Amino acid sequence: MVTPDVPAENKAPAPMQVGVVGLGLIGGSLAKALAGRARVTVVGIDPDPVVIQKALSDQVLSQGGVMPLQSEFKQLDHHQAPSIITAFKAKTSQSAGPADLAGPGPADQSAVWQMLADCQVVFLCTPPATIPDLVRQIRPFTGAILTDVASVKKPVLDLIPDDRFVGGHPMAGSEKHGYANARENLFENAAYVLCLPEQSAITVLEYRQLERLVQSIGASPISLDPQTHDKAVAAVSHLPHVAAAALSLLAARQGDNNLTRLAAGGFRDITRIASSDASLWSQISLESSDQLLPLIDQYIAILQEFRTELSDKDLDHMRQYFFQAAQYRGSLPVDGRGALLTQSILNVYIPDEPGVIGKVTTLLGDHAINITNLRIREFRTYEGGSLQLLLPDSAQAARAAWLLKEAGYECD
């Protein structure tokens, strides 16, 4: 639920300030994109002082603070102020570097979180299990919208009773990790999911501002409920990581040096994400287990189907297996947008002859495939054209493509 806007006084808006906690691949890329593209003031906090110094010298951050490692941070009492936290501030009037750091004497915990006091939005870019504790630590020091970037949403949101928290997940990343691999254009054309809790004190104006901030870094904001997000992402992100790791392990366990020498090109491409951070993906898999386990069962069942077809030398069904997979793969948007949309488009190329549209729709209707919308495109007399069908989901689109191809139609 988004609360109504309250009219503000007619004042010139202050420059926007955004916080980023955790400057790894995603957090570092966010900080770079916010500073370089959105042109907002960025405050950064990370456990590694070397990362903070680098981000300051890159002029990505206007201020930087160092906090404990997350393993230590999780064990701290919420009201303790450990002396191991050190805060730094860069001079904004000249290039930042080690000489520009205020300190580096130890400061209490509040000195770090106080840096976020004037932020309108704070991105929490640490592992999912750390997010609820971070929210509790940070909230007393800022009224900002707090949002995370974790790839699971419901397990995180269920533990955060904060009415100014928005679940977030940029559908972007790399098998590499760390600030050294962060880049400003990481989110270009990426879907960026926002999950607003039902009980929220965030106004419509503030939510729209968050969407515009997401757009300013090159991403496309998509509003989803947490359950829908988690189910979709488990299929298109989490399971592929498991599958890529399994393929890599399968090759490794053959104990064949010749196989290793030949495992390049396509094999390296399809297993690229197996090089991702092992600790991070172990945690993501655990957090995603409610959605991931049934998908693994379905994946095994599909492989078992193909194994049976292969064993039976059932060439027709194997051809159907590869065709439907290729059809779905070919229907995916090439610019990364709309990866979580629930409807699929199928283009059918038809000749210029009476009743052809009726034949197509009847064929699909006879097989219980629902056409939610239909468009005729590029139709020329005596030459034909294309029929664009909007179908409820990718599974029906794949079945429809197979049926139409068997009936002699060309489609993609």
**Average predicted confidence (pLDDT) for the chain:** 81
* Ranges of each domain in the chain: 17-224, 231-318, 342-411
pLDDT band at 123 (very low <50, low <70, confident <90, very high): very high
- Do residues 383 and 394 touch, judged by C-beta distance below 8 A? no
Q: Which fold has domain 17-224?
A: Rossmann fold (3.40.50)
357 contact partners, CB below 8 Å, separation of at least 6: 350, 374, 376, 387
231-318: CATH class? mainly alpha
Helix or strand run (H / E) with residue 191: strand 191-195
> In sequence order, what DSSP letters do the residues of 235-268 get, joined into one string?
IIIIHHHHHHHHHHHHHHTT--HHHHHH--THHH
Q: How many CB atoms lie within 10 A of CB 164?
A: 17
pLDDT band at 309 (very low <50, low <70, confident <90, very high): very high
> How much is the pLDDT for 271?
84
201-237: pLDDT as tens digits: 999 999 999 999 999 999 999 999 999 999 999 998 8
pTM over 0.75: no
248-294: pLDDT as tens digits: 988 888 877 777 777 766 787 788 888 888 888 888 899 899 999 99
166-184: pLDDT as tens digits: 999 998 877 678 999 998 9
CA distance 124 to 30: 11
Residue the block writes with tokens 């515009």:
212
Same fold, 17-224 and 231-318: no
Chosen CATH of 342-411 out of 3.40.50.410, 3.40.50.460, 3.30.70.260, 3.40.50.10860: 3.30.70.260
Residue the block writes with tokens 């991403």:
219
> How much is the pLDDT for 45?
96
Percentage of the chain lying above the pLDDT 90 cut: 46
Q: Which of 189, 191, 199 is nearest to 223 (CA)?
A: 191
- Do residues 404 and 326 touch, judged by C-beta distance below 8 A? no
Of residues 99 and 393, more confidence is placed in 393
> In sequence order, what DSSP letters do the residues of 89-101 get, joined into one string?
E--TTS---GGG-
